[in-house]
Structure 1
């Protein structure tokens, strides 16, 4: 049997396995369910709502009427001045919305949010959903949302393509796809690839006699199996992306590849002061985030499959290998609690980057009060781990091959 013939044999065996077909079906079904769940439950940071702006205008007018009845004082005059500025801004926002001039709306709203951030604690109106049960960082998340949306709206005011309400509210299909990299897509795809490796990768160690008659080196057999599972994982990845894009674009617009996405630059410290400046964010097109998140996910998959092959040499039982592999996916929550300070140890820990969807955007640094977590570190860690695992797999395969010929 030639190398190509063996590859075809392994491919047909893998895809004809009913358990593997069930895993593929479950993964694709989870993509359907995730898409519908996102469509029905997603709450945007910036919800363009004319009724809300109208209520804010009425509230400001009512406050002015109350202050007009009081004795004139310096503090009252200062408050009246601030309210008049806010009232003028809100009326401009409402007028631009009514005329559907969203680029001008974005420019005015960005300046308004910048002004609110400068006045930090006195002017921010943070929605109630940020203050959920046992969540003690609603105020910080609200500050982040104002800075994030302010910088994005500032970028929207300078784009050369049509701006829509779906793009501002991040309700396009590309936005839904980008959010899937935060938790759903990495975990579901890694779990699917691990489960599919149970028969092919792990049981090969328990039953090596099936391949001893083939004129192929053991290391080549393992490398072929690894490549095959990686290709199947890539196929699932693109099928999942297609499902998410197809369903979400049916309800919302597809989006634009140059849609600006703010990236937190990591120079902000949570200790003692809030986020105060839109310049804490840089802007990249959404295609940049999708491309680099996809590459990192592929690296994560092939490293996970290599880890399974390596552990399989010491633990021939599939249950133990699967347990170790699954534990590595959720172990990050045990070593990295949200808090203040700079976490150099966590930034160099590989498990930190299993939840990589909000690392490239810089949100992980904000959540942990860190400046050191970066996707290039995760790439370095996993690429180094992959090379070491491949070296160990080669050495172990050669040792096994020599023992067989003694």
Structure 2
């Protein structure tokens, strides 16, 4: 009976008129992201051939101008008061050096020689950190732009040095983080968990309310009310897990076909401190470890929201109310989140479960960086989520006793 009921609930969810259009909509978003948005995403490290050509033309004009007036030596641009000390600036030599470097990068891009291009870019950034630190367009709306630029610079350098130290062939996909594994990493780091959990909330929002249309059939089932709730939860958990698995595999397959699968041993920069914003505040972990630690927490988050929706379904008996409240809880952190929010109701934010819903930012220390704190970490997140799950289970048991089967079906 248990197996038949579980199978029955699973098929109802899979064939639901609410689920099927939603699955097609998510599939449309997935293909749009993998085929249009992410492959052509413009980032700081993206190579723009048109802008490079225009910059080379500008450098040519400046060099020709200095050659025409014979000003190719040192330019003395500073004089100390009451001294004869002068500092010369080799402007022409710098223009010539930059022209050669950008010409070599353009040639490497045209030849698809990304290993040479990565070496040139890494060499340039090592001696020119101001490419990030003084880019006024980078993080210009952020509350701490200088800190964010330093953070981005350190992460970029660590990634590039790791690529060059490995024996893997340097491809376009690897250099610009578009391989299957790197795309999954970026998805989990950039609010991908929110999207997956919203899908779970949507699938589980009507698992109770839909039964009220078939009261005469379901009231006679030889199963206890609490067991029915457990089987319903298990069915939507399995459906959500299957959906997430297919979603992930299809997305990675699309990106792999375009840019390659990637490598599990690539290093992911993680922040271990915020004292100096120097390399000493950073460490690394393998991409395999990052994905493993993130994905292993996903089932806990899925069952947490499934059971929460069962509680809400018992209390409100309407799938749209359940969907609204569940979504509000999921995105509740966004209602009060600022870069300086480190307490909520006088308690550290690390004690609240909503801090860990976007778990992809926990493992690499990004949430600590954004909140300017060091109290949020992996083990603590698992403990907080487990405690939250246990609290929800206790609440569900109590509510199921109060809102029994008869009262639930007959309530208006």
Provide TM-score, normalisation by structure 1.
0.79
Match for 1:375 among 339, 357, 378? 378
Change beyond 3 A, Cα 1:189–1:201? farther
Q: Is the Cα contact below 8 Å between 1:107 and 1:154 reproduced in 2?
A: no
- Residue 20 of structure 2 is aligned to residue 21 of structure 1: yes
Identify the range of structure 1 (153-162 vs 232-241) with the bigger mean alpha-carbon deviation.
Answer: 153-162
CA distance in 2 between partners of 1:28 and 1:280 (Å): 40
Structure showing greater radius of gyration is 2
Which runs of structure 2 are paired with 1:1-400 in the superposition (5 Å)?
2-47=1-46, 52=52, 55=56, 68-70=74-76, 76-77=87-88, 87=97, 94=104, 98=108, 113=125, 116=128, 124-126=133-135, 128-131=137-140, 134-183=141-190, 185-204=192-211, 210-265=217-272, 267-269=273-275, 275=277, 277-339=278-340, 345-398=348-401
The CA deviation at 1:107 is 6.8
Does the CA contact (< 8 Å) of 2:173 and 2:179 recur in 1?
yes
Structure 2: runs of 5 or more not aligned: 80-84, 408-412
Q: Distance in 2 between matches of 1:128 and 1:331?
A: 30
Q: Find the aligned partners of 2:57 and 2:268 in 1 and give their Cα distance.
A: 28
Q: Shift of the alpha carbon at 1:200? A: 1.7
Tell me, in whole angstroms, the C-alpha distance in 1 between the residues paired with 2:78 and 2:385. Answer: 66
Contact 2:362 2:376 in 1 (8 A): yes
**Secondary structure of 1:387 counterpart:** helix
Deviates more, 1:104-113 or 1:298-307: 104-113
* RMSD value, Cα: 4.1
Structure 1 residues 214 and 326: CA distance shift in structure 2, 3 A:
same
1:72/1:379 CA distance change after superposition, 3 Å: closer
Aligned length: 390
**Higher relative contact order at CA 8 Å, sep ≥6: structure 1 or structure 2?**
1
Q: Counterpart of 1:261 in 2: which secondary structure?
A: strand
- C-alpha distance 95-307 of structure 1, shift in aligned 2 (>3 A): closer
**In the TM superposition, what whole-angstrom CA distance separates every residue of 1:241-277 from its partner, at most 9, and x where no partner exists?**
1232232233322222222221122x114xxx7x3x2
The answer (yes or no) to whether the contact 1:106–1:154 under 8 Å persists in 2 is: no
1:349: how far off?
1.9
Q: CA deviation at 1:176?
A: 1.8
